[in-house]
Copies of this chain bind each other. A is one copy, B any other.
Amino acid sequence: MLRRRPGTPTLEEVAALAGVGRGTVSRVINNAAGVKDTTRRAVQRAIAELGYVPNLAARTLAGRRADAVALVMTEPDWRQFGEPFFSEIVRSVGDALTETEVQLLLTLVRTDAERQRLVEYARGGRVDGVMLMSVHAADPLPDMLAEVGLPTVLLGRRSGDESVTYVDADNVGGARAAVSHLLDTGRRAVATITGPPDMYVAQCRLRGYREAMERAGVEPRGSWTVRGDFSADSGHHAMAELLERAPEIDGVFAASDTMAAGALGALRAAGRRVPDDVAVIGFDDFPLAQHTDPKLTTVRQPLEEIGHAMVRLLLEEMEEPSTAWRHVIHRTELVLRDSA
């Protein structure tokens, strides 16, 4: 509740102690130019002496900036949270923001009530923008945020004509390339483990699989397509199912690295030799590098790049970024055209 603990000094007290006006103190703590060096020093001494820390709520109210961003995980079943994909993304966004004054806030959205709470939190001005990961096709959250004018960036699209700014990989092309690789190295009966059908990314990777098969003139059997949910466990189960229902397969394309790892485990547990009996390739395995139009908002894997791309896009959506945001490091951006 922060019941003004006696001993939480205000800017005014600092000003008094330093013998200057409030404006000057404000300039000093914001590193604004145009303060005599001796004055600045005096103020800094007063700040140190009092142990002054700015009240962020007041600053936000007066300055219309939160110097914070939310990274939202909207995973209803929550299983994916522990998956490497998420930790990589979180780490990557954290890296992009680590040297700045911008505080990264991870939030969970599992229910409608939590969705509502987040919207109010964001609309309430406590963050300068929102990044969302793992968005399912029907999720209204991105629109709720974007409609009220909040800078919003998605990791992955909800559909082919996503209205909200997003960062995405070349899912169709990547999947096609991965499957083609399998076919080119002599595999014929290539199966696929898909992601959740309500996620556009899963649809795209499935399409890439089908296109590659078609181009190679191979008619995939229905039993060669098994559904997963991007988790390692689901990859394991899917592989077990494939082994049972389609023992003829000699290659597998998993729509995510994580599922590929799970599939490998199942294969080994079943005593199959990998890759001699069955070759496995996961989406993220495959290099998608291809520099093109830098204005496009799709990026290449690896995941490390994604955080930077999201932060950069967020920054571009902001009308008047604070100085904290200006410190965001603009690392090399590896951007490529999406073939979808």
B-side contacts of A91, CB under 8 Å:
78, 81
Asked if A108 and B81 sit within 8 Å, CB to CB, the answer is: no
Beta-carbon contacts under 8 Å, A51-69 to B? 53-61, 64-66, 68
Interface size (A, Cβ < 8 Å)? 60
Asked if B1 and A321 sit within 8 Å, CB to CB, the answer is: yes
| CB-contact partner of A128 in B1, B86, B148, B322, under 8 A | B1
Given A64-B2, A105-B106, residue A123 in contact with residue B53 (CB < 8 A): yes
B-side contacts of A53, CB under 8 Å:
119-120, 123-124, 148
Asked if A121 and B103 sit within 8 Å, CB to CB, the answer is: yes
In the complex, which residue of chain B has the Cβ closest to the Cβ of A64? B2
B-side contacts of A318, CB under 8 Å:
1
Asked if A110 and B81 sit within 8 Å, CB to CB, the answer is: no
In the complex, which residue of chain B has the Cβ closest to the Cβ of A59? B124
Beta-carbon contacts under 8 Å, A119-135 to B? 119-121, 123-126, 128
A107 contacts partner chain B, Cβ-Cβ < 8 Å = yes
In the complex, which residue of chain B has the Cβ closest to the Cβ of A114? B98
Asked if B319 and A3 sit within 8 Å, CB to CB, the answer is: yes
7 contacts between A and B (CB under 8 A): A2-B65, A3-B320, A5-B149, A55-B125, A57-B124, A81-B91, A82-B82
